[in-house]
Amino acid sequence: MVLLANTKKKKTTKSSKKKNTKNRKKKVNEKKQTKNKRTKKKRTKKTTKNKKPVKKSSKKKTKKTKKTKKPKTKKSTEKKINPSKINTKKIKAEEKKDIVTIIILTIIILAIIVFTLLTGANQTTNLNDANQLNTNDQNNDTDQSDIVDTNTDLNLTKEEILQKAQELQTKLNVEIIDSQLEIFKNWYPELGLENNLINECIKDNNYADPDLDIDDAEHLLKITEDTQLAGMLGFEGSTPGIFVNGYKLNGYKDYNNMKEIIEIAKNTTSNIDYLDSDTNTYTVSEQTPKLYVLYNNDNNITKNSAENTLNILENKPYDEFFTSFFEDVEIIKKDYRDVSPNISDVLKTLKVNSLPFFYLDGNIDLLSMDENTLEIFNNLFVALPSGGHIINEPQSQYLDYSILHSEKDFVYGDENAPVTIYVFDDYDCAYCQKLDNEVLPKIIENYVDSGEVNIVIKDNVIYPAQSLFPAVFSRCAQEQGEYWKTHTKLFDEKESFGGNLVQGIFDKYESQITQLQNQYQQLLGNQ
């Protein structure tokens, strides 16, 4: 894509840009040291409000000082298709190996903003076609199907339409960033941000710049990594997404809900030794199948989740299937640590990492299923390559949740607290704002200040036009040790830089967007 090509052109100046980045970080560290000296005498009681982030660049210092202890390594792992069967170590290796994929994902997120507007209700299908514009028909010979007759009597090829869309996208991004930044600049004194340092950081992470050096855009990469992780964990297009240690919560939860999960997490012990087991095979019974429903008996969370799944199966449209199928199939409910050796081998071989876990063991050929029952069975159950079947249901506890941890995270509170709350949010999300304004302050007062809990905010940018630049701005503020104040301020002032402002900018380009839409739809019709 254009942005990738331009990125390569900047290699001749990379050393000077790297030097500028290092100088900025050096200034940031000097500012922090000065600020620490000024504020040390003013502190009269323990507070976590201005706790400094754990940063990769200060890793050596972390080992020498007591103030910035390295946070405990948290454990988790999952992939979107079947989260309970994913090996944490493999995922981590793949993430490092696939950094190029992450970069491309960042670029795609930015490049499709205009097409998201253009394609309306047919957005998914059309976006896939739009992405193909850059890869198909790259030869110089243009056949008749590549020509589009427009209202302005221009004949545009696929590549020309894509170029126009990218140019329009750049204009929109530039104007949105400039407009939001003008608002943010008024907050610098209140947030304690040094103007030159924040502006240099924004420049390094300016995704509207076609000559962006992706190697210097460390905050943009971090935001992309967290957004990608959110999708892997099932939070794609959904905020807020919350983890309390390994317990997954979808959507907004009030303080009482959060308090209950925190107390459970404080008393949860997980046996994950089998995740490192060398066992790589298991035996499938040749007897009539049995459905094993495995959960964590330490509390009711995974047990209730399992019961909810079974209740769904007992009701329409599965009620007839349930009555027929489970007339022959026995349901065995067990704690995942209290199973037979063979089922234990299943857990070890599959590296089952999340609960509840539904495993059908046995020979399904012994069941008499009519055509309708067999169709429902195939829709509900997934056949495993090694034998047996599973039900892919949403998981509520992850035994190993280390994938949630990143050295680049900002940790609010005691980094060694036994419970970590991970929040995946978006600065244009109303329920994220509600969580931040109403729930987190109570958690801070009752759990964070006492050292029992810490909080990590991760970006899940699902409204990039409105919230990508605010996310970049907050991470640039993190360099100066002011992430939490900036994060809170962004939610307090969400209405000033969010949807209404962005919609006003899009309205200015309505005629150009409409023209591109017509051209693009005509192109699709001619294919």
As a whole number of angstroms, the distance between CA 302 and CA 109 comes to 35
Q: Are 121 and 98 in contact (CB under 8 A)?
A: no
Name, in order, each residue with C-beta under 8 angstroms of 339's C-beta and a sequence gap of 6 or more.
292, 294, 347
Q: Which two tokens stand for residue 436?
A: 């931040």
Of residues 33, 168, 112, 77, the one with CA closest to residue 351: 77
Q: Are 449 and 504 in contact (CB under 8 A)?
A: no
Name, in order, each residue with C-beta under 8 angstroms of 206's C-beta and a sequence gap of 6 or more.
177, 212
Q: Which two tokens stand for residue 498?
A: 């969010």
Q: Are 46 and 449 in contact (CB under 8 A)?
A: yes
Give the 3-state secondary structure of residue 297. coil
Q: Which two tokens stand for residue 28?
A: 């940031």
Q: Which two tokens stand for residue 444?
A: 């801070």
State residue 491's pLDDT score: 96
Of residues 2, 516, 7, the one with CA closest to residue 220: 7
Instruction: Provide the terminal-to-terminal Cα distance of the chain, rounded to the nearest Å.
Output: 22
Q: Give Cα 311 to chain centroid, integer Å.
A: 30
Q: Are 491 and 498 in contact (CB under 8 A)?
A: no
Q: Is the pTM of this model over 0.75?
A: no
**Angle at the Cα of 325 (from 373 to 374), degrees rounded to 5?**
20
Q: Which two tokens stand for residue 211?
A: 């000559």
State residue 50's pLDDT score: 41
For helices 14-40 and 195-204, give the axis angle rounded to 10 degrees.
Answer: 140
Q: Does domain 276-395 have CATH number 1.10.3470?
A: no
Q: Are 400 and 272 in contact (CB under 8 A)?
A: yes
Q: Which two tokens stand for residue 411?
A: 């940790």
Of residues 385, 367, 366, the one with CA closest to residue 376: 367
Residue with token string 């012990």: 269
State residue 512's pLDDT score: 86
Of residues 430, 442, 441, the one with CA closest to residue 466: 430
How many Cβ atoms from other residues are within 10 Å of residue 83's Cβ? Answer: 21
Domain segments of the chain as ranges: 276-395
Q: Which two tokens stand for residue 438?
A: 């109403």
As a whole number of angstroms, the distance between CA 259 and CA 254 comes to 9
pLDDT in tens, the chain (527 residues): 333 333 333 444 445 555 566 666 666 666 555 554 444 443 333 344 444 444 333 333 333 333 333 333 333 333 333 333 334 434 444 444 344 344 434 444 444 444 443 333 333 333 333 333 333 433 444 343 343 343 444 567 778 888 888 888 889 999 999 999 999 999 999 999 999 999 999 999 999 998 888 888 999 999 999 999 999 999 988 899 999 999 999 999 999 999 999 999 998 877 778 788 888 899 999 999 999 999 999 889 999 999 999 999 999 889 999 999 999 999 999 999 999 999 999 999 999 999 999 999 999 999 989 999 999 999 999 999 999 999 988 889 999 999 999 999 999 999 999 999 999 999 999 999 999 999 999 999 999 999 999 999 999 999 899 999 999 999 999 999 999 999 999 999 999 999 899 999 999 988 888 888 887 777 777 66
State residue 25's pLDDT score: 63
State residue 527's pLDDT score: 62
As a whole number of angstroms, the distance between CA 209 and CA 203 comes to 8
Determine whether 255 is exposed, middle or buried from the number of CB atoms within 10 Å of its CB (0-12, 13-18, 19+). middle
Pairing of strands 241-244, 247-250: antiparallel
Name, in order, each residue with C-beta under 8 angstroms of 173's C-beta and a sequence gap of 6 or more.
110, 113, 207, 208
Of residues 307, 274, 291, 280, the one with CA closest to residue 359: 291
Q: Are 250 and 483 in contact (CB under 8 A)?
A: no
Name, in order, each residue with C-beta under 8 angstroms of 76's C-beta and a sequence gap of 6 or more.
88, 243, 246, 353, 398, 400, 401, 402, 403, 404
Q: Are 518 and 151 in contact (CB under 8 A)?
A: yes
Q: Are 329 and 291 in contact (CB under 8 A)?
A: yes
**Angle at the Cα of 113 (from 527 to 474), degrees rounded to 5?**
160
Q: Which two tokens stand for residue 407?
A: 């050295």
